[in-house]
Amino acid sequence: MLKLNGKNVKKILTQTWKFIKRFKWYVISGLIIAAIIIVPIWRKANQKTEYLTDMVTRQTVSEEVSESGNVQAEGQAEVYSSSPGAVTEIYVQNGQYVYANQSLFAIRPDTTDAEKEMAYSQYLAAQNGVTNAEQARDSLTVQIRMAKKQLTDATTLYRKILDDINTNPATTYTQADLASAKMGYLATKKNVEVLNESFTNAEATIAAAQEAAAAAKTAYDAKSFLIVKSPSSGYVSNLSIFRGDRVSTSMGLGAATYSPAMIVANTQRPIFKAQINEIDIAKIKLYQSATITIDAIKDAEFSGKVKKIDSIGANAQGVISYNIYVSLENPSPDINVGMSGNVVIETEKHEDVLTVINSAIKPYQDGQAVQVFADNQHKTLKYVPIKTGLKGLERTEISEGLTEGMEIVITSDVNQFKSAIFGG
């Protein structure tokens, strides 16, 4: 056995130092590995458990539905030409308020001489239809006048024979005379009724012929000159045409394929449109309060109310959603149609109810529970079953299981909780 005197210790240290210098990278690696293994074990053995807690308090819990969307204008209508052609006149400008059926612009349609001749021929035929219908009505007017005269004479004769038979014993009229007079009266009366009905039908025929003639005249005029009118009242926006430009129909015929000449909309009354999923749509009701934020307008919120809710959903790759339309009660002049943003709708609110923070609620035995301290030293925990009510963004209503002022445990890993909430 080696005795540890000064000489031997020096020898051992010298040999150890030589070993370390020779195998220094192995030694350093071994020390690092040992530190990685030993330090966490030591820290865990000496670490004191910390708890993050909260109190059961009475607060207001609000359920909200939030979704992104875009600003639209009330009564928005895209204006196209009813026929391809070239613009000859423009009667409006951007920002101008127009009424429904007001003239917006005029065009010279793309039509051939043969098409114009055909349209004119159809117009003349329609005009002839009006003339023929009016002549038929005039003929009926004469027939009705004559039939009414015949009815008056037949009525007078029938009453005369009937009175004479009933009052004059020496009358020369027979029952055959009376029957003949009655038949004449009834026949002339029926004839007047038939002619009156024919006259009513003739008036309807004239009205239909006049409508057909007006339509034929419009079609004929449209072959050489066409005025496009506003489909609704509102402000003119996105006016994209100039005199001489070619315009198209909404079907994409012509050079300006699918491009509207302008948009007429009530831009003073913007509407926020959002799509709500099939789970949340049942929570949305008319006139619920909403808060709208616009991405392009920082640090501003706009109040609103739900004005319309679609009852038929749209299917996009198996996902069903429903359009809702929210009015902006205090619109800003900085809000433009098409801007994107977010709407938050308060669907339900419970005031002065017991609440806990959402993260404190844990699944427990096919139900829910919170954790509380089982002893005064706060070393052990126990579960307390609960029943919940309305769930808000941060806190949940507790309907059974807890009392006001109780201390509940959110988590026993404070660092992990802080990292999840605040990052790091």
Higher pLDDT: 243 or 412? It is 243
Is 398 found in the same domain as 284?
Answer: yes
Q: Residue 419's pLDDT is what?
A: 41
Q: Residue 293's pLDDT is what?
A: 94
Residue 64 in any domain: the answer is: no
Residue 52 in any domain: the answer is: no
Q: Residue 33's pLDDT is what?
A: 77
Is 296 found in the same domain as 256?
Answer: no
3-state SS, the chain, equals CCCCCHHHHHHHHHHHHHHHHHCHHHHHHHHHHHHHHHHHHHHHHHCCCCCEEEECEEEEEEEEEEEEEEEEEEEEEEECCCCCEEEEEECCCCCCEECCCCEEEEEEECCCHHHHHHHHHHHHHHHHHHHHHHHHHHHHHHHHHHHHHHHHHHHHHHHHHHHHHHHCCCCCCCHHHHHHHHHHHHHHHHHHHHHHHHHHHHHHHHHHHHHHHHHHHHHHHHCCCEEEECCCCEEEECCCCCCCCEECCCCCCCCCCCCCCEEEEEEEEEEEEEEEECCCHHHCCCCCEEEEEECCCCCCCEEEEEEEECCCCEEECCEEEEEEEEEECCCCCCCCCCCEEEEEEEEEEEEEEEEEEHHHCEEECCEEEEEEECCCCCCCEEEEEEEEEEECCCEEEEEECCCCCCEEEEECCHHHHHHHHHCC
Mean pLDDT over the full length of the chain: 85
What CATH number does residue 335 fall under? 2.40.30.170
pLDDT digits (tens, 9 = 90+) for 216-255: 888 777 777 888 999 999 999 999 999 999 888 775 444 4
pTM: 0.53
Q: Residue 230's pLDDT is what?
A: 94
Q: Residue 24's pLDDT is what?
A: 65
pLDDT digits (tens, 9 = 90+) for 354-407: 999 999 999 999 999 999 988 877 678 899 999 999 988 889 999 999 999 999
Residue 58 in any domain: the answer is: no
Q: Domain count for the chain, please give it.
A: 4
Q: Residue 131's pLDDT is what?
A: 93
Q: Residue 3's pLDDT is what?
A: 54
Is 94 found in the same domain as 243?
Answer: yes
Percent of the chain scoring above 90 in pLDDT: 50
Q: What is the mean pLDDT of residues 273-300?
A: 93
Is 317 found in the same domain as 207?
Answer: no
Residue 71 in any domain: the answer is: no
Q: Residue 128's pLDDT is what?
A: 92
pLDDT digits (tens, 9 = 90+) for 56-102: 999 999 888 999 999 998 888 899 987 888 999 999 999 999 999 99
Q: Residue 40's pLDDT is what?
A: 66
Is 232 found in the same domain as 218?
Answer: no
Is 236 found in the same domain as 215?
Answer: no
**Which range marks the domain in which residue 20 is found?**
8-46
What CATH number does residue 206 fall under? 1.10.287.620
